[in-house]
Amino acid sequence: MSSTPPTTRPEPEYEGDYRPVDSANPHAHIDLANPRIESTDLRYLAQIADTLNTTLDLQTLLNRTSELVRSIIPYKIFSILLVNDRTNELRMRFQIGHRPEAQRMRIPLGKGVVGQVALTRQPMLVNDVKEIEGYIDVNPNVCSELAIPLIAKNRLIGVLDLESEQTGFFKPEHLHLLTLTGSRVAQAIENARLYTRVSRQAETLAVLNEISTEIISILDLDPLLAKVGNLLRRLIDYQMFSIMLLDDKGETLITRYAWRFGYAQAPMRRISVTTGLVGAAVREWRPINVPDVRKDQRYLPMNAETRSELIVPLFYKERVIGVLDLEHTRTAFFNDDHVRTLTTMAAQIAIAIENARLYQRVRRQEQQLERDIAMAREVQLRLLPTAPPKHEHAEFAVSFLPARAIGGDLYDFLEYTDTQTAVVLGDVSGKAAPAALFAALVSGIMRSAVQQKPAPAAMLELLNEALQERKLDSQYVVMLYALWNDDNRTLTVANSGAVQPIFCRGGENVTVKAEGFPLGMFPSATYEEFNVATQPGDAIVFVSDGILDAENEKGDMYGEDRLASLLCGSRELPAQHIADAILADVTRFQGSKDRFDDETIIVLKVK
């Protein structure tokens, strides 16, 4: 068999520029002045998809779109306008070649070329803009215009608009090509906007988390409010911001923090809740978003630059404590996302503000209490004797160490005669200021009664009845009352629940078993007296329970045995040296353990 050699098919003739695409230059077949492409040529659309799908940043996306369009249509004036769903207006989001006044315009749907395209969702090719009724003449040099709607998932999101200073510059091929481009651009813009919303939500959650972990711990109000302003700027690009708090009567809003165009200010502005937009937010218990304050009669003109304003009330425990007030120089700047974000943050902000204000009140109370305690301590110290009494046959000494600024222990030396002195050691229930004041009361009663020179048991009974008459709840006193007679070296002791004294002679110690009910606890209580005959060299110690109950790190208590051993071991020393030695030993025993009770020591050394 013989084969017929293949014949070479002649290259067909192509009309105009309808020639297969050169793989090395996919756009080489397009005449930029008069482009005509086949509807089946998908390479350009694939390039659009590849280019637009590589970014989710809206600004980058719009810039790439302008470059893609320029590669096939040599425009000089380009813009992408996006729809504001709340106002049904078009706002220029990206532009090349337009004047600044055009960029600031808001174009209602149906107005001008782009407004008609948005309203009808149909592209428009205008060879001569002068023939268009209602044309918006922003640039008098523009002669022709090409605009296509940007539609994604059957929803209008904006308009892509090209303008030329030449009449009839744009061709039907331009319109066809741009229409094919538009759907891809619209979907890419929607994806970028969705990404932006998700990113903003993530940023909102991050800021909310920062609020819960950071501003809640700020207890100084002024730094707290400044921190709130800084956090909000990460979410909302406001130009003016104020935090206003209600006064104690709930009648006036007072500016506590203000931020204007990059600078923090501190204007103490006061606005009644019956006036203004801020007052309306308080009265109506809801956020107020005003697109244009010039059209709202409630607005109080505070800033001439303000056009839009958003006020969100701060709620705490079902009451309004203040407002967050945001302002902007652009109309309709604040949207529903801003309202939701600010409303969500307001709850945490209100809690933080109330915590800071509560801390300030507590701090002021603490400072006042510290001043009161300092005064009470001074009074207490003035009530204590400045020096122990002196007798021919007795030497007295005292060591006193309060556990707090003000102690509950009281001690005194009351003179009966030149040779008789009463030794008093008591402990008031409770601590700090109440105990000190009660101790002062007991001391006053006792000093008045001493004029009658009562015996120790009689004095305790007298004090008990006096406290019963005053009926002070949960207040009582344990007290040791001993009368020293220097003439015969005897000590008469009566006790109302205080630590029993320890008597040491010749190295042997004995506890004086004097007992009795605390003062002020039971009516008509009676007390026993114990007489102790002493001789030169004897030592007697009276202590408060803070000495015996002192604990070390192991939880062991100092106890009576250690006290008695140290007393007898140092009985040869002067009385003050004995008292100081006992207090030093207790301190060593406690080590690093905090002192929880007052420590009082009175030593009687018989001469």
pLDDT tens track for 327-378: 999 988 998 888 988 898 888 889 888 888 888 888 888 788 777 766 766 6
Six-digit token string for 67: 């470059």
Q: How many C-beta neighbours within 10 Å does residue 109 have?
A: 18
C-alpha 254/C-alpha 130 separation (Å) is 56
Strand intervals (E) in 499-598: 502-505, 508-511, 530-533, 539-543
Range from 9-18, 121-130, 264-273, 442-451 that averages highest in pLDDT:
121-130
- Between 207 and 163, the higher pLDDT residue: 163
Least confident segment among 176-180, 282-286, 436-440, 551-555: 436-440
pLDDT of residue 303: 84
Q: Is the pLDDT of residue 433 over 80?
A: no
C-beta pairs of 68-73 under 8 Å, 24+ apart in sequence:
68/181, 69/160, 69/162, 69/178, 69/181, 71/27, 72/27, 72/30, 72/32, 72/35, 72/44, 72/177, 73/32, 73/35, 73/162, 73/170, 73/174, 73/177, 73/178
Which residues does residue 107 pair with via DSSP β-bridges, in sequence order?
90
Residue with tokens 């630590």: 499
Q: Where are the alpha helices (H) located in 398-450, listed in sequence order?
A: 432-449
- Sequence length of the chain is 607
Six-digit token string for 194: 């969705």
pLDDT of residue 17: 32
Q: Who contacts 108 (Cβ-Cβ below 8 Å, separation ≥6)?
A: 88, 89, 90, 115
pLDDT of residue 67: 87
Q: Is the pLDDT of residue 408 over 80?
A: no
Q: Is the pLDDT of residue 455 over 90?
A: yes
Least confident segment among 42-56, 242-256, 495-509, 540-554: 42-56
Least confident segment among 103-112, 377-386, 459-468: 377-386
Q: Which strands make up the sheet holding 77-84, listed edge to edge?
A: 106-108, 89-96, 77-84, 155-164, 144-152, 124-126
Quick one: which of 79, 33, 35, 337 has its CA closest to 185? 79
pLDDT of residue 393: 96
Name the average pLDDT for the chain.
84
pTM score over 0.75: no
C-alpha 205/C-alpha 193 separation (Å) is 18
From its phi and psi, is residue 427 left (phi > 0), alpha (psi between -120 and 50) or beta? beta
CA distances 79 to 163, 166, 244, 311, 511, Å, are 9, 17, 41, 34, 103
Q: Who contacts 443 (Cβ-Cβ below 8 Å, separation ≥6)?
A: 383, 410, 412
240-246/144-152 β-pairing: unpaired
Quick one: which of 485, 561, 490 has its CA closest to 530? 490
For 398-426, what is the mean pLDDT? 85
Quick one: which of 535, 515, 512, 540 has its CA closest to 526? 515
- Between 447 and 216, the higher pLDDT residue: 447
- Between 459 and 177, the higher pLDDT residue: 459
C-alpha 116/C-alpha 275 separation (Å) is 42
Q: Is the pLDDT of residue 14 over 60?
A: no
pLDDT digits (tens, 9 = 90+) for 258-279: 988 888 776 678 999 999 999 9
Whole-angstrom Cα Rg for the chain: 47
pLDDT of residue 430: 63
Quick one: which of 479, 387, 476 has its CA closest to 438? 476
pLDDT of residue 28: 38
Q: Is the pLDDT of residue 525 over 70?
A: yes
Q: How many C-beta neighbours within 10 Å does residue 490 have?
A: 13
pLDDT tier, 420 (very low <50, low <70, confident <90, very high otherwise)? very high
Q: Is the pLDDT of residue 137 over 80?
A: yes
